[in-house]
């Protein structure tokens, strides 16, 4: 497969593109890798259809972009593959992965660069879409006084508030990641500013009273949920979504209970936000 066979089709004006002609089960050559990497930088989340990936092929694709991350809280459902996060939902589920807007594991000191989700089973009657929102645009569409207010602030991101008791295992005594990050971070590749707070992990803004922090964060969360910032991806079996956690948030819609949904995710290590 020559690199010229890969095409990029934009899905919305602000975020999302579908990659056509790529077979992720085969190693990408340098031109193909550059096309995929540049599409991710330009569109924040990219999608691939009709893929057939083994666990090793999935991990190999992720490793082209960096070292693979191991989740700090989820049980190891595939012990021989600690880098694989199993995404499943069925009639016994009390929660599903990503039920609210978030950036993956933002509580880590060095939050992930990106995540690659491969779904093989989806609800038979539809549902289970994932929404992705552009955090560059979320920052840029704030009024200038609000941008001045939040530039330079830091917020605490805590795994405790989300992970404790979530996975049905004994996590007594476990210490979950907790870190301070800029409310507005600079992307290390594009150098653009992006909003970097989320409902799932952000606990409070450093140096503010609780009522002040809560009010500012709620205003930012509601802004993040603006429909014009987002693309909605409708899954089909054997589809792949690859998103940049540094500048995009996502929300998995759980509207298909008690139907089943199953897949694997690999996550790529990132660096400390600044």
List the CATH number of the domain containing 35.
Answer: 3.60.130.10
Q: Is residue 273 part of a domain?
A: no
Q: Is residue 67 one of the residues assigned to a domain?
A: yes
Write down the catalytic residue from 187, 204, 250, 261.
250
Is the N-terminal amide bond of 100 cis, ω within 30° of 0?
A: no
**Residue 102 bears catalytic tag:** yes
Range of the domain at 141: 3-268
In a domain, 274, yes or no: no
Catalytic residue flag (residue 223)? no
Averages of pLDDT over runs of 10 residues in the chain (274 residues) are 75 98 95 97 98 98 97 89 94 83 97 98 95 98 98 96 82 90 98 97 98 98 97 98 98 95 97 98
The answer to whether residue 210 is domain-embedded is yes
Q: Which residues of 19-47 are buried (b: 16+ CB within 10 A; e: fewer)?
A: beebbbeeebeeebeebbeebbeebbbbb
What's the pLDDT score for residue 3? Answer: 47
Q: Which of 104, 108, 181, 261 is catalytic?
A: 104
Domain count for the chain, please give it. 1
Annotation marks residue 58 as catalytic? no
Span 173-225, pLDDT tens digits = 889 999 999 999 999 999 999 999 999 999 999 999 999 999 999 999 999 99
State the Cα torsion 20-24-26-30 to the nearest 10°. 70
The CA dihedral of 168, 169, 171, 177, to the nearest 10 degrees, is -70
Asked if 132 and 15 count as a contact pair (C-beta separation under 8 A), the reply is yes
Q: Give me the catalytic one of 43, 58, 102, 185.
A: 102
pLDDT of residue 4: 56
**Is position 8 within any domain?**
yes
Residue 146 lies in a domain: yes
Is 124 domain-assigned?
yes
Please report which residue ranges of the chain form alpha helices under DSSP H. Answer: 30-43, 55-63, 135-140, 144-150, 160-163, 210-224
Q: Sort 86 into a burial class: Cβ within 10 Å, 0-12 / 13-18 / 19+.
A: middle
Active site residue 147: no
Q: What is the pLDDT of residue 80?
A: 95
Residue 144 forms part of a structural domain: yes
Whole-number Å distance between alpha carbons of 91 and 24: 31
């Amino acid at each position: 497969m020559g690199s010229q066979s890969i095409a990029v089709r934009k899905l919305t004006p602000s975020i999302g593109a579908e990659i056509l002609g790529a077979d992720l089960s085969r190693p990408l050559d340098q031109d193909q890798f550059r096309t995929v990497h540049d599409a991710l930088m330009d569109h924040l989340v990219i999608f691939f259809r009709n893929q057939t990936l083994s666990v090793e092929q999935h991990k190999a694709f992720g490793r082209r972009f960096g070292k693979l991350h191991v989740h700090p809280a989820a049980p190891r459902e595939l012990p021989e593959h600690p880098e694989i996060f199993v995404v499943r939902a069925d009639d016994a589920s009390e929660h599903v992965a990503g039920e609210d807007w978030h950036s993956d594991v933002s509580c880590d000191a060095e939050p992930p660069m990106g995540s690659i989700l491969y779904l093989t089973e989806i609800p038979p009657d539809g549902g289970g879409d994932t929404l992705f929102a552009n955090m560059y645009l979320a920052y840029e569409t704030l009024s200038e006084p609000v941008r001045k207010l939040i530039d330079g602030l830091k917020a605490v991101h805590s795994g405790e508030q989300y992970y404790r008791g979530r996975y049905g295992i004994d996590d007594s005594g476990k210490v979950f990641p907790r870190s301070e990050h800029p409310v507005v971070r600079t992307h290390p590749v594009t150098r653009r500013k992006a909003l970097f707070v989320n409902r799932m992990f952000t606990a409070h803004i450093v140096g503010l009273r609780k009522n002040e922090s809560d009010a500012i964060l709620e205003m930012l969360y509601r802004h993040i949920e603006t429909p014009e910032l987002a693309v909605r991806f409708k899954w089909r079996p054997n589809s792949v979504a690859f998103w940049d956690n540094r500048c995009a948030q996502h929300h998995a819609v759980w509207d298909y209970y008690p139907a089943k949904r199953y897949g694997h995710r690999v996550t790529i290590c990132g660096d400390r936000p600044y």
